[in-house]
């Protein structure tokens, strides 16, 4: 199965997905260099923010700049590139704001960044950096959905299971594994890695299950037309549902798996967490 066989049917959306796939090694390599090599340990607010904004802006601006002729003939806010970009920006910002306390309190996640530009101990530059992450996830999820339905056309129930029951959680687990590694323990770690990879991936992956239909509905079929307002409202609804789900998991499930710490700091708490102090 070739990549072209599973990219979006419309030229405009196909261009967005292709751009995001090509951008993935760019932002991925940049993150690997500054995180794994410890460069980010020495950065303050200005450098961290410049890094996050640059990579996040690239994920939004490149598809808009590289729009095919079919997408240039409509107002910018109505273009596929703008609506797909708006969706990943909304998910990046809203999930960072509403879901980070769950990661601090329940999954015992810790950041070591020397950031003072924070929202409830969550560095603001990560809001922007997450846009790049989610652009890749959007492309991978939509492509995987088409690949599953193409490969399992004779078993549509199995295709839906792979689309919504496997791939979103695999992506969540992969992000956890890549970020929570010993080479980044001065910047990012989990006190209980097994809890984060298992229970955490299920909780986090549910957000992608809710986001995937929105990404698929945007210009996937001429029968479904989502304008910018509909995209924004659906993203807000998806985040609200996911936030409610995390609250249920926090109250009804998490206490049986770990100790829930209300109001955990999660930022530069070196002496009481898995974080390793960087060398002077």
pLDDT in tens, 75-108: 999 999 999 999 999 999 999 999 999 999 999 9
The Cα–Cα gap between 165 and 162 comes to: 5
Give the pLDDT mean for 208-233.
92
Pairing of strands 109-111, 188-190: antiparallel
**119: phi then psi, degrees, rounded to nearest 5:** -120, 105
Q: State yes or no: pLDDT of 25 exceeds 90.
A: yes
Per-residue pLDDT at 183 exceeds 90:
no
Residue 161 placed within a domain:
yes
Q: Across all residues in the chain, what is the average pLDDT?
A: 94
> Residue 37 domain-assigned?
yes
Is residue 20 one of the residues assigned to a domain? yes
The DSSP-derived string for 179-205 is HSSGGGTTTEEESSHHHIIIIIHHHHH
Residue 280, pLDDT score: 66
Q: What percent of the chain has pLDDT over 70?
A: 99
278 occurs within a structural domain: no
At residue 52, the pLDDT reads 98
pLDDT of residue 224: 78
- pLDDT confidence of residue 168: 97
Predicted local confidence at residue 82, as pLDDT: 97
Q: Tell me if 57 is assigned to some domain.
A: yes
- What separation in angstroms does the CA of 226 have from each of 91, 112, 135, 213, 241? 17, 40, 18, 12, 20
279 found inside a domain? no
- Whether the per-residue pLDDT at 1 is higher than 80: the answer is no
Q: Is the pLDDT of residue 221 over 90?
A: no
- Which run of H or of E encompasses 110? strand 109-111
What is the domain range of residue 165? 3-272
167 confidence band (pLDDT: 50, 70, 90): very high
Q: Is the pLDDT confidence value at 179 over 90?
A: no
Task: Return the pLDDT at 135.
Answer: 98
Residue 31 lies in a domain: yes
Which residue is listed with tokens 């295709």?
159
Q: Say whether pLDDT at 279 is over 70.
A: yes
Instruction: Give me 176's structure tokens.
Output: 């956890």
* pTM score of the predicted model: 0.96
Residue 280 lies in a domain: no
Q: What is the per-residue pLDDT across 246-271, written as a single tens digit (0 to 9) for each?
A: 999 999 999 999 999 999 999 999 99
Q: Mind spelling out the 3-state secondary structure of 7-42?
A: CCCCHHHHHHHHHHHHHHHHHHHHHHHHHHCCHHHH
pLDDT at 204: 97
Domain count, the chain: 1
């Amino acid at each position: 199965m070739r990549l072209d066989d599973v990219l979006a049917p419309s030229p405009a959306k196909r261009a967005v997905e292709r751009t995001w796939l090509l951008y993935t090694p760019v932002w991925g390599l940049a993150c690997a260099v500054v995180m794994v090599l410890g460069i980010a340990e020495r950065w303050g607010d200005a450098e961290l923010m410049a890094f996050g904004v640059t990579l996040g802006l690239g994920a939004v601006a490149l598809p808009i700049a590289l729009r095919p002729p079919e997408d240039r003939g409509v107002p910018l806010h109505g273009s596929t590139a703008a609506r797909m970009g708006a969706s990943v920006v909304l998910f990046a910002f809203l999930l960072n704001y509403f879901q980070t306390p769950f990661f601090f309190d329940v999954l015992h996640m810790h950041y070591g960044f020397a950031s003072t530009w924070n929202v409830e101990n969550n560095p603001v530059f990560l809001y922007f950096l997450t846009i790049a992450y989610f652009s890749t996830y959007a492309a991978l999820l939509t492509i995987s959905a088409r690949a599953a339905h193409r490969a399992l056309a004779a078993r549509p129930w199995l295709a839906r299971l792979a689309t919504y029951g496997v791939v979103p959680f695999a992506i969540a687990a992969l992000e956890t594994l890549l970020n929570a590694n010993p080479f980044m323990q001065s910047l990012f770690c989990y006190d209980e890695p097994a809890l984060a990879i298992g229970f955490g991936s299920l909780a986090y992956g549910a957000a992608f299950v809710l986001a995937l239909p929105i990404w698929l509905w945007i210009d996937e079929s001429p029968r479904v037309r989502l304008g910018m307002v509909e995209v924004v409202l659906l993203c807000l609804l998806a985040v609200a549902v996911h936030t409610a789900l995390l609250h249920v998991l926090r109250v009804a499930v998490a206490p049986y798996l770990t100790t829930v710490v209300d109001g955990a700091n999660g930022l530069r708490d070196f002496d009481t967490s898995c974080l390793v102090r960087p060398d002077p």
